[in-house]
Amino acid sequence: MLEKMIFGRYIPGDSFIHRLDARAKLLFVFFFIMVVFIANNWITYGILLVFTFLIIKLSKIRLYFLINGLKPVVFLIIFTFLLHLFFTREGPIILDWKFIKIYEEGLKQGIFISIRFTVLVILTSILTLTTTPISITDALEILLNPLKKWKLPVHELALMMSISLRFIPTLMDETDKIMKAQMARGSDMTTGNMKERMNAIVPLLIPLFVSAFKRAEDLATAMEVRGYRGGEGRTRYRKLEWALRDTLTLLTLVVLAVILVYFRN
């Protein structure tokens, strides 16, 4: 029932993007978010779209699937589009109907913002779809390591993140099972008014919490008996390895930035 949720999931594969170092991908997305803001006219936004399309091709993820993954944020994109459409008052009027006035600049800004949004969501989806959650947390831990100087508990945060990521699918499975068991006992979570639905959620949430706490306890015990005592002096089983292609990938971002600066107004 929940199986159609794909946001934040990993699809195993063997594309160029899959093989990149997780740190490179994280840094890429981070700097890409800044580079996107250089674009300010049709040409530069066009270039962004083409660039994104190339990355999709390189990742070998089906376009249909990515678009499906966009669904949860489509509402947000449409909302910001309309906001710009109606509230930007610059340039010539292109539509004037009763109390609605739409300006050329509004339409333009609306489209630009939507492109910016879409491109960012697609790139971050590709990051999570092509990188195992474990690599992402490892990469984050390494990249944030300098912040330890300021007493930021980097290792603990990364551990918390990897544990939560690890248990998301488990909890989803569990939710699915308990939901089915309660439905088989006549509970109905999909119809009825607000109050009835809220009531129907209790028989789902309580068993879920009980099992989540039990799991947390088991996990803590298992970690302790295997001698876990924090990040001090801990080595890694999986080592991230930075290769030439990772440097080159980051360099394309510099090239993109230069091109965008050249073509922007």
Partner 1 sequence: MDISLQQVSYAYAKDTPFEKRALYDVDLLIPSGSYQAIIGHTGSGKSTVLQHLNALLKPTEGVICIGGTEVVAGKKNKKLREIRQKVGIVFQFPEHQLFDETVLKDIMFGPMNFGVPEEEARQRAIELVRLLGLPEEVMEKSPFDLSGGQMRRVAIAGVLAMNPEVLVLDEPTAGLDPRGRKEIMDLFYKLHIEKGLTTILVTHSMEDAARYADRIAIMHNGRCVLQGIPKEIFSDEDRLMDYRLELPQSIKFQKKLEEMMNKKLPSLCLTEEALAEELARLLKKEREI
Q: Which of 64, 69, 48, 75 is nearest to 125 (CA)?
A: 69
- Which amino acid is located at 116 in the chain? R
Judged by beta carbon, residue 62 or residue 245, the one nearer partner 1 is 62
Minimum CB distance to partner 1, residue 206 (Å): 4
Minimum CB distance to partner 1, residue 207 (Å): 5
Judged by beta carbon, residue 145 or residue 170, the one nearer partner 1 is 170
Judged by beta carbon, residue 29 or residue 172, the one nearer partner 1 is 172
Minimum CB distance to partner 1, residue 226 (Å): 25
Judged by beta carbon, residue 191 or residue 235, the one nearer partner 1 is 191
Distance, first Cα to last Cα, the chain:
49
Minimum CB distance to partner 1, residue 19 (Å): 18
Q: Which of 86, 231, 102 is nearest to 156 (CA)?
A: 231
Judged by beta carbon, residue 105 or residue 174, the one nearer partner 1 is 174
What dihedral angle (degrees, nearest 10) is formed by the CA atoms of 141, 145, 150, 152?
Answer: 10
Burial class (CB in 10 A: 0-12, 13-18, 19+), 73: middle
DSSP state letter for 234: -
Minimum CB distance to partner 1, residue 128 (Å): 13
Cα separation, 7 vs 35, whole angstroms: 24
- Which amino acid is located at 226 in the chain? R
Judged by beta carbon, residue 15 or residue 211, the one nearer partner 1 is 211
Q: What residues make contact with partner 1 under the rule CB under 8 A?
A: 3-4, 6, 9, 11, 62, 65, 68, 174, 177-178, 180-188, 202-203, 206-207, 210-211
CB-based contacts of 231: which residues, under 8 Å, 6+ apart? 154, 155, 156, 159
| CA distances (Å), origin 232, targets 216, 224, 241 | 22, 15, 22
Minimum CB distance to partner 1, residue 191 (Å): 10
